[in-house]
Amino acid sequence: MNDYKALYLHFHDNVAVALSNIPEQTTVPLQIEDQRFTVKVLDAIRFGHKFATRMIKQGEDIKKYGEVIGIATSDIHPGHHVHVHNLTSKPRREV
Amino acid sequence: MEIYEKSMKFWGYRRKDGRVGVRNHVLILPTITCAAQTAQRVTELVNGTVSFIHPHGCGQIGADFDQTYKTYVGIGAHPNVYAVIVLGLGCESHQANKIAKEIEKTGKPVEVVSIQDQGGTLQAIADTAKIAVRLVQEASTMQREECDFSELIVATECGGSDACSGLSANPAVGKTSDLLVELGGTAILAETTELIGAEHLLAQRAVNDQVSKRAYEVIEAMEKRSVLMGVDLRTGNPSPGNIEGGISSLEEKSLGAATKSGTSRLQEVINYAEQPTKKGLVWMDTPGHDIEQLTGMVAGGAQVVLFTTGRGTPTGSPIAPVIKISTNTPMFEKMNENMDLNAGTIIDGIETIDDVGKRILLEIQSVASGKVTKAEVLKQYDFGIWRIGPTF
């Protein structure tokens, strides 16, 4: 295993956050409580940026902190960068 | 390491009104800016007294007058305060006598001194100091007793945030907040300004429609106030700098601040400086200004404050201990005299969010039982009221 670190914040999340600059094609270990798993990061991900931890279909909610931070504007495969190019704010429910 | 099971205890001061204090201050409460310097002199003379400098208390009207009044009363009535000497000038709009009468309802010793009645600064200092000597000695005979965590109200806030805030210290405080709520205690989320864009997510966590509606209302009111100043807080967010740092939407940015509230249900939304009427997670409507939100939550009865910071701030309160939590290890080391805990270990991959959340809970126990925070050691006595109207 390598020293590249990433943070997986909530069981419902489908993204993780890089805690260091991760080069492309790097397998990164993730942990939440006692569960450990790995994701092969396909794009270069800078500190603070997100990558998909599982397949996210176009139109699907993107979740961080267990909450919806936006929806996918295209299919996002595990390990790909998730940012403004494939995530947009979800239209707010009218009150 | 299961240090908390179903209940946790700390050593506190039980007050006559039923609330529990974690400090035993004698407060010199200047209800008008003109009396603040005099109050300061008394604290230099009498060990065991606290006070603060502020510019408020005169030329205020309507809702703005009421908010300042409520804050003074909340601070004086606070369970961390054993006794109060209300120090006025005499001619101001916030009358010391009226405020003293309100604080007296808690059953604590309250005295009033007026600079004009005493015949000037020097006599007012002497008279206030003499009363303070008696009250400090009286306060020192109070014994701490075992109290339950369900009697704690813990304020949460972030200031001087950085790219690590939403990844380390804030989610760790969220964990602490959830544990505290499980233990029957109360956690306050504040800084309405920082929550713009995440209101629908917080509203979803509300216990009923009324609370959910209030969540939208306080956000809308905050946005309207900024529009009155010619600025729309929602547009331009996330900023180019935020996007560069990896933040993709306003929801994500605001969630970085909102994550301090953990995942508990939102029990109520309360006004500035008001006491929560419910246990569990409570949202107090405050601005993002560090000192004004701090003052509001303390006036609302918070005995301990959790403050996360990435850039590093010295913030403290004269009334409540403020536990400062660094979001990153370099700042924790560089500004160590100001920082109490380091959550940068999450970024370093040494600890998990849960580990740090539990560590913060244990620190609350120590601090509530008497351990002094760095801000207390450094006498960082910040105070500022959220003014909601102009001065007249």
Is pLDDT at A85 greater than 60 in this prediction?
yes
Please give, rounded to a whole number of angstroms, the shortest distance from the CA of A4 to a CA of chain B: 9
Q: Which residue of B has its CA nearest to A94?
A: B200
Report which DSSP code applies to A93: P
**Residues A10-59 pLDDT 10s:** 999 999 999 999 999 999 999 888 899 999 999 999 999 999 999 999 99
Q: Which residue of B has its CA nearest to A3?
A: B349
Instruction: Tell me the two tokens of residue B5.
Output: 């099971």
Please give, rounded to a whole number of angstroms, the shortest distance from the CA of A27 to a CA of chain B: 16
Distances (CA, A) of A52 to A33, B253, B383: 19, 18, 44
Is residue A72 within 8 angstroms of chain B, CB to CB?
no
Residue B4 pLDDT: 60
**B 202-221 near A (Cβ less than 8 A):** 213, 216
Q: With bands split at pLDDT 50, 70 and 90, how would you rate the model's confidence at A2? A: low
Three-state SS for A41?
strand
CB A94 within 8 A of CB A74: no
Block residue for tokens 């939403």: B166
Rg, Å, chain A Cα set? 13
Is residue B123 within 8 angstroms of chain A, CB to CB?
no
Report which DSSP code applies to A20: S
Sign of the CA dihedral running B142, B28, B63, B288 = negative
Subunit contact B248:A95, Cβ cutoff 8 A: no
CA dist B187 and B281 (Å) reads 5
CA dist B30 and B35 (Å) reads 5
Subunit contact A95:B163, Cβ cutoff 8 A: no
* From A31, A66, A89, residue closest to B263, measured CB to CB: A66
**Residues B107-160 pLDDT 10s:** 999 999 999 999 999 999 999 999 999 999 999 999 999 999 999 999 999 999
Taking 70 as the pLDDT cut, the residues of chain B under it are 1-5
Is residue B201 within 8 angstroms of chain A, CB to CB?
yes
Sign of the CA dihedral running B62, B68, B69, B74 = positive
Instruction: Tell me, rounded to whole angstroms, the distance of Cα B251 from its chain centroid.
Output: 25
Subunit contact B255:A9, Cβ cutoff 8 A: no
